[in-house]
Amino acid sequence: MAKIKRIVRFGIIGCGLMGREFASAAARWCHLLDLDVQPRIVGICDANPAMMEWFQSNFESIEIATQDYHELLASSAIEAIYCAVPHNLHEQLYSDCLNAGKHLFGEKPFGIDMAANTHILSVIREHPELFVRCASEFPFYPGAQQILQALHEERFGTIIEVQAGFLHSSDLDPAKPINWKRRIATNGEYGCMGDLGMHVLHIPLRMGWMPRNVRALLSNIVRERPGPNGVLVPCETWDNATLFCEVQHAEQHFPMTLETKRIAPGESNTWYLRIIGTRYSAEFSTKYPRSLRFMHYVPGKAQTWQVQDLGYQAAYPAITGAIFEFGFPDAVQQMWAAYCDELVNRERMQQAFYCVTPEEAAQSHRIFTAALESQRSGQVIALETELEESTTRS
Ligand SMILES: NC(=O)c1ccc[n+]([C@@H]2O[C@H](COP(=O)([O-])OP(=O)(O)OC[C@H]3O[C@@H](n4cnc5c(N)ncnc54)[C@H](O)[C@@H]3O)[C@@H](O)[C@H]2O)c1
């Protein structure tokens, strides 16, 4: 007999790119095995009604479709909200969701800037009964999960260096029209860091690698783009950022380089993590989604990088055979499985890797704010780490 699953009734605010990814993941939930929880999309909201049509023609479960998110928040049929809206709306909408008593899955950067993020965290603290996490799906790729396992097993020895990054190239085309992600008013002064940085920091912050200091090099490469009527308008946000960080954690002390780039020629959506250690090194990139490169160092033996072909070895077991490929929609679904599993089962969740906590999102804001200061001053900016090293869940 089929197991009865706990249904979590969701409302989606923001029916754009990521709102659809969630809905699609929920629609093929049967893909996952052995999970005692399932999301159901019962409410949708978008300021632009045309964005809701795809949902309405594909989801019979939708009971409320509205342009005013307050209607979703007032509905007792909805217990959790996925909010995927432009960054300038995070502070108001996330706070309103929480004050309405809804669990929240927010998108990064979890507030357009440090002040917005600090306010969101203060509202979260007023609602300890609510469960809040921030999106970041790439660490759910099997290659990233393998590296996490190696970290937990302390296979690396002394860590020599960490490099993590997220690279895009669609902004290389100067004719690409301006959109909200290229304006400071809607995307924020962090630019590419706010857009891409939480993905890069999820695993480092989970490992407790809050940097002691940051030296940033930021660049604005394409400074104008066609506006709605084709006339060039300022494109103000940082396109590329490289952050050089010093990490001191437990006995480990190493440099960590974080790259977030919207103009990286040839890279369509490359998330990568590379950890070099004295005993073991490993790297994974979504560019080669089934390959884990690693090297065991044994003194006196050949230093040989090996490539392991990974299949569908996901955190949450699925119907896909272990030899087959894993892709972006799978990572999104695994992230949603982790959110729903943790919402319902808390510390007894089925596997150990949980979504970004609000505290980790707050740490990312401290790093990006320091990076902006470093760019302005040309200096290395120190960060307080003592209170930050805990990865305690809340
Ligand atoms: N996790 C990821 O991989 C990932 C990828 C892309 C974007 N994001 C994040 O998701 C969020 C949304 O980005 P997107 O790419 O989906 O943007 P998008 O522009 O595709 O969608 C945003 C939607 O929000 C709607 N909206 C705007 N104001 C609204 C309001 N007041 N009420 C209701 N709806 C409103 C817009 O009409 C639009 O349909 C951002 O925080 C972004 O950083 C995450």
What is the tens place of the pLDDT at every residue in 70-84? Answer: 999 999 999 999 999
Q: Are 299 and 179 in contact (CB under 8 A)?
A: no
Is the CB of 91 inside a 6 Å radius of any atom of ligand 1? Answer: no
Indicate whether 183 pLDDT > 80.
yes
Average pLDDT, the chain: 96
Name the DSSP letter for residue 251. Answer: T
The pLDDT of residue 291: 97
Domains 6-134 and 139-313+357-388 share a fold: no
Which residues lie closer than 8 Å to 312 by C-beta, 6 or more apart? Answer: 142, 318, 320, 321, 322, 323, 324, 325, 326, 330
Is the CB of 18 inside a 6 Å radius of any atom of ligand 1? Answer: yes
Is the CB of 135 inside a 6 Å radius of any atom of ligand 1? Answer: yes
6-134 classified as CATH 3.40.50.11540: no
* Helix (H/G/I), strand (E/B), else coil: 175: coil
**How far, in Å, CA of 238 to CA of 236, rounded?**
7
Mutation to probe ligand 1, out of 24, 71, 85, 328 (largest number of atoms < 8 A from CB): 85
Task: Give kind and range of the element (H or E) at residue 40.
Answer: strand 37-45
The pLDDT of residue 305: 98
| 68 token code pair | 């005013």
Task: Please identify, by atom number, the ligand 1 atom nearest to the C-alpha of residue 195.
Answer: 43
| 189 token code pair | 């002064």
Q: How far is the CA of 229 from the centre of ligand 1 (A)?
A: 23
Indicate whether 388 pLDDT > 80.
no
Indicate the domain borders of the chain. Answer: 6-134, 139-313+357-388
The residue whose C-alpha atom lies closest to atom 25 belonging to ligand 1 is 14
Is the CB of 13 inside a 6 Å radius of any atom of ligand 1? Answer: yes
**How far, in Å, CA of 55 to CA of 19, rounded?**
9
Q: In the predicted model, what is the mean pLDDT of residues 105-123?
A: 98
The pLDDT of residue 26: 98
* Helix (H/G/I), strand (E/B), else coil: 186: helix
Q: In terms of DSSP H, where are the helices of the chain?
A: 17-27, 53-58, 69-74, 90-99, 114-125, 142-152, 184-187, 192-206, 328-345, 358-377
* Distances in whole angstroms, Cα of residue 343 to Cα of each of 38, 102, 135, 181, 348: 11, 12, 14, 30, 10
**How far, in Å, CA of 320 to CA of 313, rounded?**
9
Which CATH code for domain 139-313+357-388?
A: 3.30.360.10
